[in-house]
Amino acid sequence: MAADEIQHLTRAFSGLGGLGVDESAMVSALGKWRKQPEKLSGFRKSFNGFFKEHGVIERCEEEYMLHLAAEFSRFKNLMVLWAMHPWERDARMAHHVLHQAHPAAIVVEIACTRPAEELLGARKAYQALFHHSLEEDVAYHARDKPYCSLLVGLVSAYRYEGPRVNEEVARAEAKALGAAVKSAAGATAKLVENDEVVRILSTRSKPHLVETFKYYKEIHGRHIEEVITSMIPIHQAATI
């Protein structure tokens, strides 16, 4: 068995070092060698930290077997998600985090990174699967959070996805964001509850927001991300 092949599989099954199974390397190796058992035997013999000679076989050590079982359980979940229709996957992920008291980061990611049709599809899938709308579940489960209105707006959005941007409006909204930051006086709760902030962030297209944030930097001398980050207490950052 070639040294580079041994190294390839060793990397794939490097979990006892705390790195977990390298799924892409593992799939490549198992797919390539599925009908070549002699290569897997060569791997086991070269990886004697986890396999011991036992008569005519190389026996897997109990510790490594348990570790692999745990890692493959994680990989099983990955494969299930991979096999799902993207709309169903997003709907199930959003439902899971909303009903398990997890931070809203995954819901924000779905709302902000999916194209309009995909977000609409996820909302349709959510309603079909759980007999509630995503919007009403977000509104209910985030009702005590200061960012509730913004989050509902984000998941409800159907944004324009073309390239056109009204520069005059983008500049005006950069000034509006600056006024909202000033009126919030360092309190993120006040900022994300501001109606203008919610309207701009939840309805404008991504190219429009890029231009708005560019003008914000020109007018106020700082990136808006820096401003918002500086307003978030360290102990709260992980829960947003």
pLDDT tens, position by position, 113-153: 999 999 999 999 999 999 999 999 999 999 988 889 999 99
Indicate the pairing of strand 57-60 with strand 51-54: antiparallel
| Number of domains the chain is built from | 3
Judgement on whether residues 134 and 191 belong to the same structural domain of the protein:
no
Indicate if 37 and 56 belong to the same structural domain. yes
- Same domain assignment for residues 9 and 79: yes
Residue 239: DSSP 8-state: T
Per residue in 209-218, pLDDT (tens digit) is: 999 999 999 9
CA distance 179 to 185: 10
Task: Please name every residue paired with 186 in a beta bridge, in sequence order, or none if there are none.
Answer: none
Q: Is 75 found in the same domain as 13?
A: yes
For residue 232, what is the domain's CATH number? 1.10.220.10
Indicate the average pLDDT of the chain: 80
Please state, as a whole number, how many other Cβ atoms lie within 10 Å of the Cβ of residue 186. Answer: 11
Co-location of 60 and 14 in the same domain: yes
Assigned domain for 161 exists:
no
Examine the fold and report which residue of 107, 135, 156 is the final residue of a domain before the chain moves on.
Answer: 156
Contact 111, 154 (CB under 8 A): yes
- For residue 201, being part of any structural domain is answered with yes
pLDDT 10s digits, 144-167: 888 899 999 999 999 999 999 999
Q: Is 127 exposed, middle or buried (0-12, 13-18, 19+ CB in 10 A)?
A: middle
> Containing domain of residue 115, as a range?
86-156
- pLDDT computed for residue 239 by the predictor: 46
**Whether residue 176 is found in the same domain as residue 228:** yes
Element (H, E) at 172: helix 167-184
Is 7 within a domain?
yes
